[in-house]
Structures are given as C-alpha cells and as structure tokens.
C-alpha cells in the first residue's frame, strides 16, 4: 500500500526530516488560497497519486503566482495521470500538493528497504537522483550503493562521502531521522528522490514515497487511516471492508479462491492454460456468506469479466456450503448471470454443489482444478467447451 507524496512527507517530517513547506488542496480555489498562505517566490503544484514517475508524465508543474497555481491545479485535479508506475489506466488525481519551489543545486537518491536475504534494514543511495534515476540505475549498476544499517550508524557519513556527496554530516543526520521513521512505522519502503541540496546548502526531502506493510498496520492504527481511500481502488476498498483480499488485474476471468497460496497458484494455472485472470481474490477463512457475496458482486459488476472460476478447498474453518451460499446470493442480486465454473473439494462439497444447482446458477462443476481451469478459459474466450 503506497502513500501519496504529501502523506509520506507529513510522516517523515514528524521524525524531523526537513521538507519544503507545502499544503494539500482538493480544488483549484483551495490551491490558490494555500499558495497565498505559503507566500513563496515560486511554487510547485504536484499531482497527488499513490505512485511516482509524475515528473516525466506531466504531473509536476511550476507556477510563479498563486493564480497560476490555481490554473495548474484546475488542469490536474480530476484528470487521470498515467506514469511508469501506475499501470496503463493511470490514477485519478484527487488533489494537489502546493509547495514552495526550492532552488536545487544537486539531487541525490536515498531509500530504505529490507534486504530480501537478511531482512536487515538497508539504505540504498546514489548521487544521481531525480526523475531519470530509475533509467540511470538500470544502465549503471554502480550508481547505486547499499549500506546495511546496524544500530551503529557511525559509518554513514563515510559511505555518503564515497558516493561523492557533499555536506555529508547534515545529510547523515537527515538520513538517521528517516531511518527512525522507516523502522518505527514498520515500513516496507521509504524512498526520497530527489533528496535535494539547496543553493543555500541545506539537504531537503523534495519528494518522498512510502509503502506501508499491510500486515503490520494493526500496530499502527494512525497509519491505517492514511492508507484508506488513497491507496486502494474503490473495489479493493469494498473487498477490504468485507475481509476479502482483492487485487484487480487486467484479464477477463473472475477468480474466487479461499487461501492466498491457492489464489496465486490458481492464477498461474489460468495463465499457463492460456487464460487471463481479472483479479486475485482470497476469501479468508473467517468470511461469512454475506462477505463472500460482496466479493462475488464485485466480479459480476466488472464489465471486463466474462466468466467466473470458483476454486474452493473446504476444510478447517471454510465449509463449501458457506461459500456456495455467498455466491448464490450475489448471483440472485445481479442481472449479469456470468458462466460459473466450480471446483469444490472437501467439507460439504456435495451440499455446496446442490445449493448452486438448486438456485439455478449457470454453473458447471468439475472435480479437478485443471479441468475447471480448462473449462473457464474456454468460456472466457468464447470457445465452445
């Protein structure tokens, strides 16, 4: 779950990381009023979406006066911004961050991540920050160096010096504060790009991007509020409220599965069989029929979805008939009776199949996963089975 720039900056500022002064606004008029509060010499109007790459996609605009801020904000708000990081449909710009523009002398890159091998918090840094960083890093591996962050950060200034950065003590002090923000909030990623050296010689976080760890959110109730609404699509939010793990994908086969591992394996098998999943969905073991119905409703409402696959392993806390009740309920409330292919195995599977048949769902049941997948792939592509 990514936070937008201004939320990310608000969070790191609480830990003492210096940021330019700025204000969030949701309308052009509000943006102008916020700009007047800042009384800066020059402004930057920055589209707020939960993804980077905005500079290269036209989402970062400079303005000389508050009324120009209003014009730029008016052009951005409500439109869709497609960047390298958004996916092809882009993201709707719900608001802008109005900032005082700073005079940048030098741009560096810094991010905090967890080393995938050791699990240790690690700093990645480069003297070549800015919008072209990703491209540069791809071409020149040496441009980015990593430093494992043990409790002792005495070596940090040296590391920064070796990268060719200046004012390293001030920079090390900023990065130590950022490290605390990263660790105390259980973040998966804290990226500062550019980390800017101003003409007056101060290091500032001019952009920041945070990825929250969904599994650690229960430890940070304040962060949970921040991520809601911005980082999920409306459908993902509806699923989340019903305790269903849901991620929208771009295929046409709706997939309903219990268990995240089975969900991933099912999607892999669909792709191997030549089909394209429209989503990842894990109905958790504790989901009620009503919650499951909400999940299926999202698929029935999605015009891209042409057929639905139900792959359920009954056992433990999930019983097949609870799932079947939920699916049947969703179908009874929808006008789109999409073909349903079911593979139900385990506890109460016979009963579940009977529920789907008795409620007159357009269902076809198969005993094995591969048979069910072959059938749903055929239906989704309009081929006869």
Contacting positions for Mn ion (CB under 5 A): 193, 207
Q: Which of 189, 271 has the CB closer to ligand GDP? A: 189
Q: Which of 40, 196 has the CB closer to Mn ion? A: 196
User: Choosing from 91, 99, 191, 297, which is the catalytic residue?
Assistant: 191
In the complex, the smallest distance separating the C-beta of residue 354 from ligand GDP, rounded to whole angstroms, is 54
Q: Which of 81, 257 has the CB closer to ligand GDP? A: 81
Helices (H), the chain: 5-13, 28-38, 66-76, 133-139, 156-162, 168-184, 221-227, 234-241, 260-272, 289-301, 320-333, 349-358, 369-380
In the complex, the smallest distance separating the C-beta of residue 379 from ligand GDP, rounded to whole angstroms, is 41
Residue listed under structure tokens 């890159």: 109
Pick from ligand GDP, Mn ion, none: which does 379 bind, CB < 5 to 8 A by kind? none
In the chain, what is the straight-line distance between the N-terminal and C-terminal CA atoms, in Å? 40
Q: Which of 55, 74 has the CB closer to Mn ion? A: 55
Contacting positions for ligand GDP (CB under 6 A): 20, 44, 46, 52-55, 60, 99, 101-102, 104, 130-131, 193-194, 206-207
Pick from Mn ion, ligand GDP, none: which does 130 bind, CB < 5 to 8 A by kind? ligand GDP
User: Choosing from 6, 97, 109, 331, which is the catalytic residue?
Assistant: 109
Tokens of 122: 């690690």
Based on the residue annotation, tell me whether 109 is a catalytic residue of this protein: yes
In the complex, the smallest distance separating the C-beta of residue 46 from ligand GDP, rounded to whole angstroms, is 6
Q: CA-CA distance, 13 to 20, in Å (whole number)? A: 10
Longest CA pairwise span in the chain (Å): 75
Q: CA-CA distance, 152 to 172, in Å (whole number)? A: 12
Closest-approach residue to ligand GDP (CB): 55
Q: Which of 5, 297 has the CB closer to ligand GDP? A: 5
Pick from Mn ion, ligand GDP, none: which does 217 bind, CB < 5 to 8 A by kind? none
In sign, the C-alpha dihedral spanning 365, 367, 371, 377 is positive
Q: CA-CA distance, 385 to 380, in Å (whole number)? A: 11
DSSP symbols for 310-377 = EEEEEBTTB-HHHHHHHHHHHHHH-S----EEEEEEETTHHHHHHHHHHTT--EEE-SSHHHHHHHHH
In the complex, the smallest distance separating the C-beta of residue 168 from ligand GDP, rounded to whole angstroms, is 21
Collect all residues with Cβ–Cβ distance below 8 Å to 68 and sequence separation of at least 6.
Answer: 43
Ramachandran angles phi, psi of 305, nearest 5°: -80, 130
Closest-approach residue to Mn ion (CB): 207
In the complex, the smallest distance separating the C-beta of residue 43 from Mn ion, rounded to whole angstroms, is 17
Pick from Mn ion, ligand GDP, none: which does 18 bind, CB < 5 to 8 A by kind? none
Active-site positions read: 109, 191
């Amino acid at each position: 779950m990514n936070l937008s720039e201004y939320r990310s900056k608000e969070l790191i500022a609480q830990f003492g990381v210096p940021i330019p002064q700025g204000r969030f606004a949701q309308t052009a008029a509000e943006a102008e009023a916020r700009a007047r509060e800042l009384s800066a010499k020059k402004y930057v109007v920055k589209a707020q979406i939960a993804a980077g790459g905005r500079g290269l996609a036209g989402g970062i605009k400079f303005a000389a006066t508050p009324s120009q801020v209003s014009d730029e904000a008016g052009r951005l708000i409500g439109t869709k911004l497609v960047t390298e990081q958004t996916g092809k449909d882009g993201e709707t710009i719900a608001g802008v961050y109005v900032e005082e523009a700073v005079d940048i002398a030098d741009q560096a890159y810094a991010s905090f991540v967890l080393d995938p091998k050791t699990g240790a918090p690690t700093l990645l840094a480069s003297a070549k920050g800015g919008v072209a960083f990703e491209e540069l890093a791809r071409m020149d591996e040496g441009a980015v160096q990593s430093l494992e962050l043990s409790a002792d950060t005495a070596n940090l200034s040296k590391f920064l010096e070796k990268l060719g950065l200046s004012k390293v003590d001030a920079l090390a002090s900023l990065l130590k504060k950022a490290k605390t923000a990263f660790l105390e909030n259980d973040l998966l990623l804290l990226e500062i790009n550019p980390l800017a050296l101003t003409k007056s010689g101060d290091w500032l976080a001019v952009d920041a991007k945070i990825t929250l760890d969904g599994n650690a959110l229960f430890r940070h109730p304040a962060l949970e509020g921040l991520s809601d609404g911005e980082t999920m699509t409306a459908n993902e939010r509806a699923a989340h409220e019903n305790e269903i793990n849901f991620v929208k994908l771009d295929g046409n086969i709706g997939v309903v599965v219990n268990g995240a591992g089975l969900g991933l394996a099912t999607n892999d098998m669909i792709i191997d069989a030549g089909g394209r999943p429209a989503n990842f969905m894990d109905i958790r073991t504790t989901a009620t029929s009503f919650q499951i119905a909400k999940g299926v409703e999202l698929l029935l409402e999605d015009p891209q979805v042409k057929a639905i696959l139900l792959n359920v392993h009954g056992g433990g806390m999930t019983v097949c008939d609870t799932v079947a009740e939920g699916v049947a309920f969703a179908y009874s409330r929808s006008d789109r009776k999409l073909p349903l292919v079911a593979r139900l195995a385990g506890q109460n599977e016979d009963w579940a199949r009977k529920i789907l048949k008795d409620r007159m769902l357009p269902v076809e049941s198969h005993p094995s996963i591969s048979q069910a997948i072959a059938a749903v792939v055929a239906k989704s592509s309009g081929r006869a089975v």
